Chain A
Amino acid sequence: MTLLPSASANASEVDRLLWALLAISLAVLVLVFALLLRYITRYRANSPVDRGVEGTKSWIFESAWTGATLLVFLGLFVWGANLYVRMFNPPQDALRIYVVAKQWMWKVEHPSGQREINALHVPLNRAVQLIMTSEDVIHDFSVPAFRIKHDVLPGRYETLGFTATRAGTYPLYCTQFCGVNHSMMTGEVVVLPPAQFAAWLARNPVADDLVGEGRTLYIRYGCSGCHARGAEVATVRAPPLEGLYGRPVPLSDGRTVTADERYLHDSIVAPGAQIVAGYQDLMPSYAGQISEEDLLKLVTYIKSLSPESPP
């Protein structure tokens, strides 16, 4: 039996926290068990040991150990929370890979169009951000060797970031119970040195990249009919999408949201929920009509539309 490999930047930090927790736990357990054993042997009923006088002030002891426990707990909290918050703030230049979960498989799409099932190839020492969604129930993407885990929900995008620091193949598990074959929803994460990763990418056939496929879908679903550049050519007035990604969007109910992946996704499946200020609620919902995989492609295409690019 081998110990769990530590294969990400995050893993060694989590392990350090776990070691500290182990040390504290052992200290507490040794203290409690030692006192317990000492008292039950020393003060067993027929033991003649002198019990001295009773009536010590208990509140001094109580306050002391309450205070000590509280301090240790606060320290652990700060340590754990700090690491957690940093885990959730991946660098901006991360490689973004899309993951779609369904009963009972993982489908991975690389930005350059390569696809894999129940496997994820990533380059060594490069920050990766997974953008994950589910087609049915809640799943959970877990790679113990990276010490990461995150639920994958239907109808929304969840992200999970990591930087692999050791080449190799590591197991991937679904860790949110998802139905009959939950335990078979496993796979592997393959970490390759950059050169080998490039070679792997080149070796795998690419039908079209996500942006290209998204463009096809964009036309097929008639998005271009309303969201055309320049409202004068369109029969229906809809907000332009060029350069939208990442910008703040004022809504008709006075709120302002940032046009991230989740916003784009939600605006396709539930357009009425967030109406852009100055526009009417005309767009029909595409919920249930476009699969999550296709939605990913559409969102990727919309993200790629810069203000200058041709429609």
Chain B
Amino acid sequence: MSAESADIKIPAAAVDRSYLHDGTSLKSWLLTTDHKRIAILYFASITAFFFLGGAAAALVRFNLITPQGLLGSPETYNRLFTMHGVVMVWFFLVPAVPVTLGNFIIPLMIGARDLAFPRLNLFSWYLFMVGGTITLWALFVGGLDTGWTFYTPLSTTYSKGHVALAAAGIFVAGFSSIATGLNFIITIHRLRAPGLTWYRLPVFIWSMYSLSVLLVLATPVLAITLLLMLLERLFHIGVFDPAVGGDPLLFQHLFWFYSHPAVYMMILPGFGVISEIIPAFARRPIFGYKFLVWASVAIAVISFFVWGHHMFVAGTSVYSAVLFSILSYMVAVPSAIKVFNWLGTLHKGYIHFDAPMLYALGFIGLFTIGGVTGLWVAALAADVHLTQTYFVVAHFHYIMVGGMVSAYFGGLHYWWPKITGRMYPEAWARIAALVMFIGFNLTFFPQFILGYLGMPRRYATYAPEFQVLNVLSSAGSTILAAAYLLPLAYLLWSLLHGKRAPQNPWRATGLEWQTPSPPPTVNFIATPHVTQGPYAYARPDKESSAKEPPHGEAHE
């Protein structure tokens, strides 16, 4: 099937020019079907949502400097943490890596010219923006104070916020997730370059594939759950109302059936990014490729069967709690495997400390802390004490922010030359990575102790004995905020003033590095043929004789 049919026509401009120069009008961006341009559209939206959610978080930390709450109004505080949760979960953490890096890199990595359904891809961006706009409207104009979890009957009956509107927005954005997942799965199945067998796929592709399965199978359940919640709110249909014969716990079951896999939707792409960066900067093939790959798949499968561990004190039966506890330990095993494999890759490597690698190393450390504290909350009796306290807040921020956001920044720096055709300023990037690591730990480590001491989540005011740790956490958050603003500044600067990026600045082996930076619209002028596995890094002492990518440039 390598011969192309005559009816496939490639416009000359798509071959000659970089995708950034293939049309400059607004229309050429807003109606583009090029996965790379759509990724850029997503980059812009995702960045806006990230700083919005971050601003809400900053205000939350500001409020908690004093026990009485500096904002003065619990209602404002409740709206802020709800805004932080809703924006970050649905409009940053779940979509961020897939729709930006995934959208851009997946076709390049598998030697394809685009995703399988380019128009669907564009449509999903519009859905995302429509859903995002509706949700933001609800958050800003009406205010929403249910927390991102929308527990019934608070959300359906008692809250005065704009619950229905927010649910409608998330409902719409959900279909964007489904469309993206569907597109990725079909693309990875059908559009791999000749010779690119499943076991020659980079781990990033495998984790994007696992993630897509989660998106496609879990998001529809969120859609129907939000629809029922919305109808309950508007018409009091009673599905979640015990007075009519419904069940408020049913909502929690359905909600977590989506939202637990959602946690893995957030972290699986992170695993993928890290598994690309570490071999590239350790100059070694990844350790235990097949274990890493199947660990991703195992995580995707098991993550569907652990939702009940969010409900150990919610009033479900003891038997279900015991079952969900052991399943939660099972899902932790593949994650542990991954950490050991990354360490195994570093062993006997030739390690370079460029910014992407610093983010990746930070990821390993922070993710491990997030992971081992997961063991605490999976142990039933310990969870009874720790759940709904700041311990849980710290735990999942170590996974989400320490893990996923570090990976996002790592990936952003790693592929920045490919995406923009410019190098970012290395020194600044290293400083940002370091400051982010320090600021993050200062912000969230004290929260573990706060949680053990019993400080509940979502409290606008708190007992005075918790103040010292809260001040420490708020102080850390200012450092963290500064660390996030740094990349915004220097990456934007590099768009205009950065050094021109060579085709393969990291001497990495992925197919995405075998085409110019930035790539032409058509991605590859000649379809690549793959003859070996993804991480064929030769040892530097034998490098001269080893096969290097054709246009590889010297590193540093």
Contact = CB atoms under 8 A, between A and B. Distances in A.
Contacts, number: 262
A194 interface: no
Interface string B318-361: 10011001100110110011011101101111111100000001
Given A29-B369, A150-B313, A153-B315, A144 B457 contact: no
B534 to A, nearest CB: 16
Contacts of A87: 381, 384
B376 A269 contact: no
A35 B347 CA distance: 9
Nearest to A288: B243
Contacts of A140: 313, 388
B287 A18 contact: no
B347 A39 contact: yes
A182 B78 contact: yes
Contacts of A36: 343, 346, 361, 364-365
Contact of B379 (A17, A58, A136): A17
Interface string A3-40: 11000001001100110010011001100110110011
A65 B336 contact: yes
Given A4-B454, A25-B372, A155 B242 contact: yes
Given A62-B291, A144-B453, A51 B465 contact: no
Interface residues of B, number: 88
B459 interface: yes
A18 B452 contact: yes
A203 interface: no
A15 to B, nearest CB: 9
Interface residues of A, number: 83
Contacts of A69: 332-333, 336-337
A136 B75 CA distance: 19
B380 interface: yes
Q: Secondary structure of the B side of the interface?
A: helix
Contacts of B452: 4, 18
Interface stretch (A169-177, A219-227, A249-257): A169-177
Contacts of B314: 138, 151
A85 B318 contact: yes
Interface string B192-207: 0000000000000000
Contact of B351 (A43, A177, A184): A43
Contact of A39 (B349, B382, B456): B349
Contacts of B348: 43, 51-52, 54
A180 B461 CA distance: 11
Interface in B269-315: 282-283, 287-288, 291, 312-315
B375 interface: yes
A84 B463 contact: no
B368 A77 contact: no
Given A39-B343, A148-B384, A151-B315, A175 B288 contact: no
B154 interface: yes
Contacts of B381: 10, 13-14, 17, 79-81, 83-84, 87, 147
A148 B385 CA distance: 6
A73 to B, nearest CB: 4
Given A58-B344, A81-B322, A45 B380 contact: no
Interface stretch (B145-153, B215-223, B482-490): B145-153
Interface of A: 1-4, 10, 13-14, 17-18, 21, 24-25, 28-29, 32-33, 35-36, 39-40, 43-45, 51-52, 54, 58-59, 61-62, 65-66, 69-70, 73-74, 76-77, 79-81, 83-85, 87-88, 103, 136-138, 140, 142, 144-145, 147-151, 153-156, 158, 171, 173-184, 186, 269-270, 273, 287-288
15 contacts: A21-B376, A32-B368, A35-B343, A35-B346, A36-B346, A39-B349, A40-B353, A76-B329, A81-B380, A84-B325, A140-B388, A142-B454, A154-B248, A177-B78, A287-B244
Given A28-B368, A62-B291, A155-B243, 9 more contacts: A21-B376, A39-B349, A51-B348, A58-B344, A62-B340, A76-B329, A144-B453, A171-B463, A177-B78
